[in-house]
Structure 1
């Protein structure tokens, strides 16, 4: 990325959101070993991959990882390059707005004009060079004013599991500090539409999937929270004031649960976008770097299958990390995870079969988004040993 003459790259602080439990990847993903600390598509875990592609962009001491107490030790072990004081355990889950907001108030203690990048811990990216280019461009744009930058994924299908960004006019390249990456205004955000609406969005051509990656100055996010979440902002400010003191853990535990549980999309992005294309300083850059959020078993089937079209994918059986000879007879489109087992598929299609030491999942690729309901059933039945 070329920065405009006389401008240096802004201070950049990546914030990794790693507090989820990954219920749709049950039975491999559990509360104490959620999908972000699992190696689902290679030797490195999801969070190791996330941090690895961001390390060229920021010093390890600038990172903030926000997780929970069950995962903190595993994450600290997997990320030795990140200082332990930069890995925070939420006392309770409160969705993404309090986590992002706390990061803003913490970063602002030393530099309110530093740019924060919010990154979920469970994405995969195939083109890390392009990823770095787009993130640098987004950070440069966010640094130039009261601007919020989102990364939008070019949609390949009418997916109902993602939020959508309606993109507006292309921004004049002379007004933004980068070259060669298209920037558009954001008109509005739509959360997880039904199938018919998703089809209309993809056909219309101006919509992108919401990647969940956002960039803004610490000051910008703080002021947005003060405007749209006036009860939450002073709570987060109080926690940030205690950071680095002996009182931090106590204050964090007492105050954070008082925050509203709300996503950053609902708390800030949607209220800001209602101002429309003219007044809402929200911009979208293309996440054209081979993005996948690996949200469920069918997404992992697609990812492991590699670069193939829908027709080829529908025929492909994936025996993932299964180190014994496997057999498929008149079977297609299945995903199997059963390490150490010989698996035989006979006359079946589009199944997901996942075996661990204490559980067996059998579903269809089409219903793999519903696997989280199994975890809810287990909790209701008191089977804490399985969640």
Structure 2
């Protein structure tokens, strides 16, 4: 594992099917956040692929998305073979999407290590990311193991899942990497504030960053064990891949899959076997990770200042060269082509597009998805 690419076959799977409602009005169904350049010139999904290419060939990458985004993703990722960009016939959460890749690969290369990578993450230390993933691939390839990357928690965040860490493992598969391996005791989804504070204070929890590594055989086997009704559906789809029947079989079978996350479908029931028997291991996701889930997260990510100053920094995106700020702090503003003046305001999010204007606070930016739901009830599909 010392070279840039491992001898183990590695197949990254990029999950890109979400609609990014909390980034409305910039993010729309046909142009969701993963195909937007939110923090630079490269889009979120392009940055995701950029991080993975030192670890795998583009021809080994899979992308799971939807019909509204597959063409633009194909244009943005010309390196990825078009037949490996799969459009879900129906949104079924992350378990069927992850498992689909496992069943496809299990037929011909069951020892292939699959990596699950959401397309909306921001990672600043890409060299460390590659180092940790490389170690995770080696660990996942060494047996019936599940590897998760746990992000050191920066605060008591209630919007993330948490991983309770178990004992340190001296595994020969990663002995030369210098990266600590921990067993996993349990997963807890989105705790309340009091529990989140307790977790962070204990020093024995990590955020669940949604990045997982396992062999195709291990993941397909876990689906058969814990979600047996889903397995024959995915087996039929995998058997039809590469034939003239694939689109029909995919459209008929996939919507019958359970709508469930990979965490609930596989990780939690497997962890219930106990720390010593689950075969779940955690590597440190200490590579300046940020889940760009809402405008406040983007503000935090883009603010070019020390962490203790993020809350008071103004972030002005897409602005005219002239910006005026008087007694204002902690704001995020996106208004391309406009002179922006802030006077005596704090902690606002203001986002202007050609047909919509969003005004909220950073604290309430998690609720922007409710705007999309309200627009839907009012029949304004043109705005979502």
TM range (shorter): over 0.9
Partner of 2:22 in structure 1? 24
In 2, distance between residues paired with 1:306 and 1:287?
22
Contact 2:11–2:60 (CA under 8 A) maintained in structure 1:
yes
Asked if 1:71 is matched to 2:63, the reply is no
SS of the aligned residue for 1:256 comes to: helix
In 2, distance between residues paired with 1:307 and 1:244?
50
Residues 170-181 of structure 1 correspond to what in structure 2 (within 5 A)? 170-174=168-172, 176=174, 178-181=176-179
Partner of 1:326 in structure 2? 323
Partner of 2:300 in structure 1? 302
Partner of 1:282 in structure 2? 280
Partner of 1:335 in structure 2? 332
Deviation by residue 1:198-232 (Cα, 9 ceiling, x = unmatched): 11100000100001000000000001000000000
TM-score (norm 2): 0.97
Contact 2:135–2:174 (CA under 8 A) maintained in structure 1:
no
Residues 112-127 of structure 1 correspond to what in structure 2 (within 5 A)? 112-127=110-125
Compared CA separation, residues 216 and 286, structure 1 to 2 (3 A): same
Partner of 2:164 in structure 1? 166
Contact 1:2–1:177 (CA under 8 A) maintained in structure 2:
no
Q: Find 1:383's aligned residue among 367, 374, 380.
A: 380
Contact 1:140–1:178 (CA under 8 A) maintained in structure 2:
no
SS of the aligned residue for 2:318 comes to: coil
Deviation by residue 1:63-96 (Cα, 9 ceiling, x = unmatched): 1100000000000000000010000000010000
Partner of 2:183 in structure 1? 185
Contact 2:222–2:266 (CA under 8 A) maintained in structure 1:
yes
Asked if 1:104 is matched to 2:102, the reply is yes
Q: Point out where structure 2 has 5 or more consecutive residues left out of the alignment.
A: none
Deviation by residue 1:344-366 (Cα, 9 ceiling, x = unmatched): 11111100000000000000000
Partner of 1:370 in structure 2? 367
Q: Find 2:354's aligned residue among 357, 361, 364.
A: 357
Q: Point out where structure 1 has 5 or more consecutive residues left out of the alignment.
A: none
Once the two structures are TM-superposed, the CA of residue 9 in structure 1 deviates from its matched residue by 2.9
Partner of 2:289 in structure 1? 291
SS of the aligned residue for 1:199 comes to: helix
In 1, distance between residues paired with 2:244 and 2:262?
29
Partner of 1:55 in structure 2? 53
Once the two structures are TM-superposed, the CA of residue 275 in structure 1 deviates from its matched residue by 1.2
Partner of 1:157 in structure 2? 155
> What is the aligned length?
382
Partner of 1:234 in structure 2? 232
Contact 1:173–1:179 (CA under 8 A) maintained in structure 2:
no
SS of the aligned residue for 2:29 comes to: coil
